[in-house]
Amino acid sequence: AEALSAGDAGDCVDALTALHAQRLGACRAAQRDVARSVRELGEALVAAVEPYFEAEEEHFVQVAEADVELGRLHRTASAAKARYQAALRGLEAISERAHRRRGSSDGSSERTSAEQTPVGGASTAPLSAEAPALRSAQRFDSGGGGVGGGGLGGGIEAEA
């Protein structure tokens, strides 16, 4: 933002140099303390705690791998959910077209919806354009895909 004068820049360098020297001295002191502790406690004690640090490192690697797998599973579930929603929208569109055809080819608006749909919910209206999509949906529904092997059906009944 502001341009530093030559004196300000020199002060900044001096301050950073002093901070570096201070931190370097602290690091060297810590290294001396570790070396003294190893001499005092002996290599056996250091060797005794080393497996715990190695186990901790291995644990962190396993957690990282699990996080990667969890992300992959979330992406897979999201993709499956999107495919399911798209299939459901397609089925709803087919159903709406079938209802419109039944209504327009009916010729009589006095019939009730119960009279238009035979017992068991099967429609007698011709659905030649929708037939391949319905067969595909039925194969998917009975194919055992999805959680619990229920496919799209999963105990949900489509309205007629």
**For 79-119, what is each residue's pLDDT tens digit?**
999 999 999 999 999 999 999 999 887 655 444 454 455 45
Q: Which amino acid is it at 85?
A: Q
134-147 per-position pLDDT tens digit = 555 444 444 444 44
Token pair 């080393």 is found at 50
Which among 88, 105, 85 has a CA at the least distance from the CA of 159? 88
Instruction: Work out the burial of residue 8: count CB atoms within 10 Å of its CB; fewer than 13 is exposed, 13-18 middle, 19 or more buried.
Output: exposed
Instruction: Work out the burial of residue 33: count CB atoms within 10 Å of its CB; fewer than 13 is exposed, 13-18 middle, 19 or more buried.
Output: exposed
| C-beta separation of 105 from 125 below 8 A | yes
